[in-house]
Amino acid sequence: MALGFAQAFRTFGRLTLAGAIGAGLAAGDVGAQQKTPSPGSAKALFAGASLPTQGPAQPIGFYAKGCMTGAVALPTDGPTWQAMRLSRNRRWGNPAMIALLERFSQDAVKYAGWPGILVGDIAQPRGGPMLNGHSSHQIGLDADIWFTPMPARRMTPQEREDLPFTSMLQKDKFLTVNPRVWTESRARLLMLAASYPEVERIFVNPAIKKKMCDTWAGDRTNLGKLRPIYGHDSHFHIRIKCPPGAAGCTPQAPVAAGDGCDKSLAYWFTPAPWAPPKPPKPGAKPPKPPREMMVSDLPKACAAVLDAASVASMQAATYGGPSAASAFAAAPAAASADDSDDALPDVGPVPNDKPALQ
Phi/psi at 289 (5° precision): -65, 150
- Asked if residue 322 has pLDDT above 70, the reply is no
Given a cut of 60, whether residue 204 has pLDDT beyond it is yes
pLDDT band per the 50, 70, 90 thresholds, residue 331? very low
Side-chain-facing half-sphere of 147: CA atoms under 13 Å: 28
Mean pLDDT estimate for the chain = 83
Q: What is the DSSP letter of 88?
A: G
Mean pLDDT of 191-214: 97
- Asked if the model's pLDDT at residue 318 lies above 90, the reply is yes
Checking 181-184 for CB contacts under 8 A at 24+ apart, the result is: 182/208, 182/211
Highest mean pLDDT among 3-17, 222-236, 283-297: 222-236
- In this predicted structure, the answer to whether residue 9 has a pLDDT above a threshold of 50 is no
Residue 12 has a CB neighbour count (10 Å cut-off) of 17
Residue 204, CA distances (Å) to 9, 48, 170, 305 in order: 22, 30, 15, 32
Lowest pLDDT segment from 57-61, 116-120, 315-319: 315-319
Distance, CA of 230 to CA of 224 (rounded, Å): 17
CA-CA distance, 116 to 42, in Å (whole number)? Answer: 35
pLDDT for 98-123, tens place per residue? 999 999 999 999 999 999 999 999 99
Per residue in 255-299, pLDDT (tens digit) is: 888 999 999 999 999 999 999 988 888 888 888 888 899 999 999
pLDDT at 326 over 60: no
Q: How many helices (H) and strands (E) does the chain have?
A: 10, 11
Q: What is the pLDDT of residue 320?
A: 78
Banded pLDDT at 39 (limits 50, 70, 90): confident
pLDDT at 352 over 50: no
| Weakest mean pLDDT among 132-136, 145-149, 201-205, 300-304 | 132-136
Pairwise CA distance, residues 79 & 102, whole Å: 9
* pLDDT above 90 for 12: no
**DSSP helix/strand/coil, 207:** helix
Check if the beta carbon of residue 57 is closer than 8 Å to that of residue 327. yes
d(CA 34, CA 125): 21
* 323 has a pLDDT exceeding 50: no
d(CA 55, CA 198): 23
Domains of the chain: 55-269+296-330 (3.30.1380.10)
Q: What is the pLDDT of residue 138?
A: 97
Give the 3-state secondary structure of residue 91.
strand
Angle, alpha carbons 131-143-53 (nearest 5°): 65
As a whole-number percent, the residues of the chain with pLDDT over 70 amount to: 80
Instruction: State residue 28 phi and psi, 5-degree precision.
Output: -75, -65
Residue 93 has pLDDT above 60, yes or no: yes
